[in-house]
Amino acid sequence: MAADFSAGFPLSDTHSITGDDMAAPILDPNAPAFTRRYMNLADPRLGAKALFASDEFFAPKERMLDPEPAVFIPGKYDDHGKWMDGWETRRKRTTGHDFCVVRLARPGVVYGVDLDTSHFTGNFPPAASIDACVSDADTPPDDAVWETLVPATTLAGNQHHYVDVSNPRAYTHLRVNLYPDGGLARLRVYGQPQRDWSRAARGELVDLAAIENGAYLVAANNEHFGPASRMLMPGRGANMGDGWETRRRREPGNDWAIVALARPGVIRRVEVDTAHFKGNFPDRCSLQAARVAGGTDASLVTQAMFWPMLLGEQPLGMDSVHTFETQLAALGPVTHVRLNIHPDGGVSRLRLWGELA
């Protein structure tokens, strides 16, 4: 049965997730670009859930989806043995392998995964794979058609395993297979949500920069203290670490980030939120925008310098939501926006409310 991809995608300007729910974990500085560009479709704060595991004797399946980085606590034991921060099965003494079924927070196209074995050294699985399916049911039925998303991949202990995925289909559920058993600290599934845009009412304002609606970060010139993709997350920032922050600029110029909108649209209202940024908020901001018909994400970086102004330079203050409506230029439908911050600093959230083109 085909899944209803419209479920779970808010169309109003009220997000159901609070900033406290969305505190972002520290990212691996050596992680591939997909970890910063796309949302984690396996994030339980957005609705992902570990549904079933063949075994979870040493550590429950839910820990595998914890959005915070895995930790190790020396000397901590429970009734089953050493407490481990992740999903861990018992030593398998029969044929077969262990697995866990996960419902994604949103139906989406997966671009990469992180199979994280942090702190699992003598108890990590030698290999793992991931299957995927599409189902309207909360738990896929026995006759669900599973397809290979990530083929069997060799794992090592106590490290991240980043795997690129090239599959254009949107899925609703994953099945993580461990060969034959062991522990997985964290599962991250980076992808772009899919939704049925035909259900959006004509003239209704939609946040075209919302990551849960399919927007993503194309590029940013600097992300020293926090990735720019955090600006696109739901809710208000939980703290100063939950946003985009650049290093202190010691040369002329300004910092910038380019966002690909969820859909082409006419932007009617802009919100720039500097929540928690007090001694390090940008002095000013501006926006450029364009409707881009071709090229690559890399080529946009150069082109964006010459895009027309959507919003001229506007002063910003600390720890506030700044709303701009009458100041916006009439550019018509656009697909990409470049946020300029002058000269540097931090922005917690960026909202681009617009009508679908």
Same fold flag, 19-193 and 200-356: yes
Query: Residue for token digits 């009439």?
Result: 330
Q: Give the model confidence (pLDDT) of 101-125 as tens digits.
A: 999 999 999 999 999 999 999 999 9
Among 24-38, 163-177, 275-289, name the one with the lowest average pLDDT.
Answer: 24-38
pLDDT of residue 168: 95
Q: How confident is the model at residue 33 (pLDDT cuts 50, 70, 90)?
A: confident
Mean pLDDT of the chain: 92
For residue 260, is pLDDT > 80? yes
For residue 28, is pLDDT > 90? no
Nearest to 206 by CA among 287, 288, 263, 260: 263
The residue that leads in pLDDT, 25 or 74, is 74
Q: Could you tell me if 331 and 272 are in contact, meaning their C-beta atoms sit under 8 angstroms apart?
A: no
Q: Could you tell me if 349 and 231 are in contact, meaning their C-beta atoms sit under 8 angstroms apart?
A: yes
Q: How confident is the model at residue 13 (pLDDT cuts 50, 70, 90)?
A: very low
Q: How far apart are CA 139 and CA 145, in angstroms?
A: 13
- Cα dist from 208 to 5, 196, 314, whole Å: 17, 14, 21
Nearest to 280 by CA among 250, 317, 253: 317
Q: Which two tokens stand for residue 274?
A: 């500097």
Q: Give the model confidence (pLDDT) of 163-204 as tens digits.
A: 999 999 999 999 999 999 999 999 999 999 998 898 888 899
Q: Could you tell me if 304 and 221 are in contact, meaning their C-beta atoms sit under 8 angstroms apart?
A: no
For residue 30, is pLDDT > 50? yes
Listed by start position, the domains of the chain span 19-193, 200-356
Q: How confident is the model at residue 40 (pLDDT cuts 50, 70, 90)?
A: very high
pLDDT of residue 22: 42
H-helix or E-strand spanning residue 134: none
Helix (H, G, I), strand (E, B) or coil at 211: helix
Chain CA centroid to CA 73, Å: 28
pLDDT of residue 16: 38
pLDDT of residue 295: 87
Q: How far apart are CA 308 and CA 129, in angstroms?
A: 46
Give the domain 200-356 fold: Jelly Rolls (2.60.120)
pTM (two decimals): 0.81
Q: Which two tokens stand for residue 317?
A: 């203050």
Question: 314 exposed, middle or buried (CB, 10 Å; 0-12, 13-18, 19+)?
Answer: middle
Give me the residues paired with residue 290 across strands. 336
Q: Give the model confidence (pLDDT) of 284-325 as tens digits.
A: 999 999 999 988 888 999 999 999 999 999 999 999 999 999
pLDDT of residue 27: 58
Q: How far apart are CA 106 and CA 193, in angstroms?
A: 6
Nearest to 343 by CA among 250, 220, 227: 250
Q: Kindly state the percentage of the chain with pLDDT values over 90.
A: 85
| CATH architecture for residues 19-193 | Sandwich (2.60)
